[in-house]
Structure 1
Amino acid sequence: MKKKSFLLTTILLLTLSMVLAACGGGTDKKEGGGAEGGEKPKFISIVTGGTGGTYYPLGGSFASIVQDATGIDTNAETSGASAENMNTLKDGKAEIAFSQTDIASYAKNGELMFEGSKVENVQAIGTLYPETIQIVTTKKSGITSVADLKGKKVSIGAPGSGTAANAQQILEVHGITFDDIQRQDLSFDESVAGIQDGTIDAAFVTAGTPTGAVEGLSATTEVVILPIEQDKIDELLGKYPFYIQDEVPSGTYGLASAVPTVAVQAMLVVRDDLSEDVVYDITKAIFENLNKVTHAKGALISAEKALNGVGIEVHPGAQKYYDEKGIKAE
């Protein structure tokens, strides 16, 4: 009887030790981020922006592409855009996010809205296209310049978005602060609705052009995009080198001529605990299926430009794809 009891105990202990050994395996992380192997996730969430911007429709296209190519269930979710997205990745509530390049840099360095709250668990997949800063109003408002915004009701973007930082910096080079305007914190859709019903006078919109919400406004009223004069552009670029010179092309929103302005860049960022293999597959899927992107901005996206102006460390999985293609930052 004692022999049987001893034998049964030994078998149980051996079985338990094998289970514990199997559970302790895990995924080894490579130095510098990104697990080299790693289990493929069952679900990936891409956080984007508001429904009236560019991130959301692009995110929908990317989600379909990634799901078809990798077999991972992938979903695009609306959000408050860049700054909120970086915090969402920090909290582990999504895997991939759209962000402006400047906001991703602030997050990694703990600057501005991220002071004392660095986002350290993110790396870049790559940049996508220019994010044009559009200062939107209407002809009937009588506003024709940035200086005219003093004392007006002006939306600087949704709480948590990167648009507020752009608004602050552009107003700054014009000698204007948020105290000089009647500040409103509204999403693009809310901003357009406010302009339309007269509850606000103007709005900052940082998004690829044409922006859906502004297109909708132009269908009902004559839209004006306020120009940024060249000397102010030069001052802005000198002080904040993540900006590039840009314009809103003639014909956009019915504009009679091109409007000079500035832009940052849209980029995709990813949590650094996604494996190298998974991020490689995601990067490859997106850049090799851009013909499936229906939004007009798809024509501006290419792997060849994806390392330009990234500003933060590139995930090893994305870097592996660029290395295979011989792509380097210009």
Structure 2
Amino acid sequence: MSELSGKQSWSKQLVSSFGSLLKSRRCPRAIVIIFGGLASGTVISVLSSCSVQPDSVSLSSGTAGGFYNRVGEQISHSTQTTVGLKVRNLDSQGSRENLQRLLSGQVDFALVQLDIASQAMRQGKIQAVAILANEYVHIIARKDSGLRSFADLEGKRVAIGTPGSGISFTTSQLIKADKLKIQEDASDFDTAFKKLNASQLDAIAYVGSLGANQKLRQQFINNPNLRIIPIQQSLINNLIVLEPGSYQTATLPMGTYASRPSVPEQDVSTISTAAVLVTRPNMDGHKVGLVTWSIISTARTYSEFYPELQNTESSEPLRKGLFYVHPAAQEVFEDGDPRAAFIRYWQKNSDLQSGVFILLFTSAMGLVVRQWRKQSSQKLLGTTVNRVAELKKLLAENPQEALKGIEDLRQEHRLRFIDGAVTTEIYEQLQQKTQTFADECRLILEKQRRKFVMDTLLLLDEWQATLQTDPDVALQKLRQIKQDYRDMLLSDQVDIEAYVELMQLTLMSVMTLAPQSLPGGAAFTRPES
């Protein structure tokens, strides 16, 4: 614990110190710009990666215009407006077909009654995302039928829903649990009510959200002879034990469908199961998270189907009593918007904060150092241009000195490049500029050397002519030539190689001509060196 506190304290101190540095006037503007750019670039990169969203997902709901299909349309609207995700809402015959589509991989999500989904959930084949309605069992009969509870359906003609529907499944569970023998009818909704009003049926079983089915409401308004009969508490308790998590005790409140006359006439005990949005365990967690968040963030818009959501800010009704919840959905229920997952992880992880800050800080310092090197190199480039201009002024008078100066400058550049104070790009530019000037110096020196050689040859020609007429004057001129060479060498007008070459040329001339020209044929001694 103390180690963690120490890391957090050190991280805060480091952030605070760097913040003060950024605010200080002594901090170079480049640091502020570079660090800010790096940090913002990192955030943009993170947010961009987090904000990459799938184009669409598919949902199997219910018959066009039906309860489940309308819920599906609301899901599509929620996801489109909150997270930019398109939901393709596919018509179906209800919960059982939706479940089969999901298990076979034909769709990504499905709306299914919880009692129908329970077995597949226990087997680990599907997982829940959210409850979107509580569906109540309605047992509807004529007031003159004499039926007072579900147990009175023994031997009666009962419409239990169309084959494969959720209504059919739940009704069959009730009949099985109560061990009833009835005359089953598979008529659809409209046909079943026609038969009931014509006394061709004794009762109709319907499963749906309170008041959400306008067609059912209209049936009660148009037919005041209809009533809803209760389910005995003993059957409710038995079914809850037999199918744990699938059902719960419920009450149909008085006046739910009409107020005058009241329908139902009094609170009716019944049983309910949830309408659940489900998906497969291997479904992309990011998609599941986005769909879950879109539902949570627009929960009140589902109150038409799920009245418990009307007067609450909590998302608890969306998962109340749910088992086998998809991990991505569970995380959204606990932490919120999945698109902010990185921010939450950042806030909870002090080690990550410290590590990322160090990375950003060192990266920024590296950029600052590189920027400094670049600026220093640019400055050196300007200084070199000025230095070469100065040496050019010396070039005409003393090319040898100019060459020495440019070579010293080139050596200085090499050392700075080796030390890392000069970028490769700038070093190459410096070498190009100084090499050009050095070549110019050498060209001038070569021209001077050739001129000296030509001058020497002319002097030797003159000396040879004088030697024929006046040997003493010739010796004097020879000494003068030697002295001129020394003076030029000492004043750097010629280099040592040129000096040696000139002396050798002079000596060869003297050795060749002197014996024939000196008085008495005496050999001419080697001139002083």
TM over 0.5: yes
Q: Alpha-carbon deviation of 1:271?
A: 3.3
Does residue 200 in structure 1 map to residue 201 in structure 2?
A: yes
Does residue 164 in structure 1 map to residue 130 in structure 2?
A: no
Secondary structure at the counterpart of residue 97 of structure 2: helix
Does residue 295 in structure 1 map to residue 308 in structure 2?
A: no
Q: Alpha-carbon deviation of 1:283?
A: 0.7
Contact 2:140 2:228 in 1 (8 A): yes
Letter in 1 for 2:236: I
Per-residue CA deviations over 1:43-81 (Å, capped at 9, x if unaligned) read 333222345753232222111111222333324333222
In 2, the alpha carbon distance for the partners of 1:64 and 1:217 equals: 30
Alignment match of 1:316 (pick from 314, 327, 342): 327
Contact 1:132 1:261 in 2 (8 A): yes
Does residue 307 in structure 1 map to residue 319 in structure 2?
A: yes
Does residue 226 in structure 1 map to residue 235 in structure 2?
A: no
In 2, the alpha carbon distance for the partners of 1:246 and 1:263 equals: 6
Q: Which residue of 2 aligns with 1:151?
A: 155
In 1, the alpha carbon distance for the partners of 2:64 and 2:219 equals: 15
| Identity value in percent | 29
Q: Which residue of 1 aligns with 2:101?
A: 88
Q: Which runs of 5+ in 2 are unaligned?
A: 1-49, 258-262, 338-529
Change (3 A) 1:300 1:294: closer
Instruction: Output aligned runs, 1:5-154, within 5 Å.
Output: 40-50=53-63, 54-109=67-122, 120=125, 122-154=126-158
Q: TM-score, normalised by structure 2?
A: 0.48
Of 55-64 and 39-48, more deviation after overlay is shown by: 39-48
Q: Alpha-carbon deviation of 1:94?
A: 2.0
Change (3 A) 1:281 1:164: same
Q: Alpha-carbon deviation of 1:211?
A: 4.3
Higher relative contact order (Cα pairs below 8 Å, separated by 6+ residues): 1
Q: Which runs of 5+ in 1 are unaligned?
A: 1-36, 111-118
Per-residue CA deviations over 1:240-269 (Å, capped at 9, x if unaligned) read 323211011100232221100111222110
Contact 1:52 1:189 in 2 (8 A): no
Alignment match of 1:251 (pick from 245, 250, 255): 255
Letter in 2 for 1:214: L
Q: TM-score, normalised by structure 1?
A: 0.73
Of 122-131 and 254-263, more deviation after overlay is shown by: 122-131
Letter in 2 for 1:99: V
Secondary structure at the counterpart of residue 269 of structure 1: strand
Per-residue CA deviations over 1:3-44 (Å, capped at 9, x if unaligned) read xxxxxxxxxxxxxxxxxxxxxxxxxxxxxxxxxx99844333
Q: Alpha-carbon deviation of 1:298?
A: 4.9
Secondary structure at the counterpart of residue 306 of structure 2: helix
Q: Which residue of 2 aligns with 1:261?
A: 270
Q: Alpha-carbon deviation of 1:187?
A: 4.2
Change (3 A) 1:263 1:53: farther
Contact 1:105 1:311 in 2 (8 A): no
Secondary structure at the counterpart of residue 266 of structure 2: coil
Letter in 2 for 1:43: S
Change (3 A) 1:140 1:289: same
Of 143-152 and 277-286, more deviation after overlay is shown by: 143-152
Change (3 A) 1:276 1:138: same
Change (3 A) 1:271 1:189: farther
Q: Which residue of 1 aligns with 2:42?
A: none
In 2, the alpha carbon distance for the partners of 1:51 and 1:295 equals: 17
Q: Alpha-carbon deviation of 1:325?
A: 4.7
Secondary structure at the counterpart of residue 151 of structure 1: coil
Change (3 A) 1:50 1:155: farther
In 1, the alpha carbon distance for the partners of 2:171 and 2:58 equals: 29
Instruction: Output aligned runs, 1:270-289, within 5 Å.
Output: 270-289=279-298
Letter in 2 for 1:220: N
In 2, the alpha carbon distance for the partners of 1:288 and 1:38 equals: 17
Change (3 A) 1:230 1:75: same
In 1, the alpha carbon distance for the partners of 2:212 and 2:300 equals: 20
In 2, the alpha carbon distance for the partners of 1:233 and 1:292 equals: 31
Contact 1:80 1:159 in 2 (8 A): no
Task: Give the number of the structure whose alpha-carbon radius of gyration is greater.
Answer: 2
Change (3 A) 1:296 1:83: closer
Letter in 1 for 2:109: I
Change (3 A) 1:198 1:39: farther
In 2, the alpha carbon distance for the partners of 1:184 and 1:52 equals: 24
Change (3 A) 1:296 1:204: same
In 1, the alpha carbon distance for the partners of 2:323 and 2:298 equals: 25
Secondary structure at the counterpart of residue 252 of structure 1: coil
In 1, the alpha carbon distance for the partners of 2:283 and 2:51 equals: 8
In 2, the alpha carbon distance for the partners of 1:296 and 1:109 equals: 26
Secondary structure at the counterpart of residue 265 of structure 2: coil
The structure whose residues are more often strand, as a share, is 1
Contact 1:192 1:214 in 2 (8 A): no
Contact 2:157 2:203 in 1 (8 A): yes
Secondary structure at the counterpart of residue 136 of structure 2: strand
Letter in 1 for 2:80: Q
Alignment coverage as a number of residue pairs: 278
Change (3 A) 1:266 1:293: closer
Change (3 A) 1:38 1:276: farther
In 2, the alpha carbon distance for the partners of 1:39 and 1:198 equals: 59
In 1, the alpha carbon distance for the partners of 2:272 and 2:327 equals: 28
Letter in 2 for 1:136: I
Per-residue CA deviations over 1:143-169 (Å, capped at 9, x if unaligned) read 333233233321222322233332223
Per-residue CA deviations over 1:201-232 (Å, capped at 9, x if unaligned) read 32221211124132121121122111112233
Secondary structure at the counterpart of residue 235 of structure 2: helix
Per-residue CA deviations over 1:282-306 (Å, capped at 9, x if unaligned) read 1111111123336252543852233
Of 261-270 and 37-46, more deviation after overlay is shown by: 37-46
Letter in 1 for 2:202: D
Contact 1:155 1:186 in 2 (8 A): yes
Change (3 A) 1:173 1:278: closer
Q: Alpha-carbon deviation of 1:173?
A: 4.0
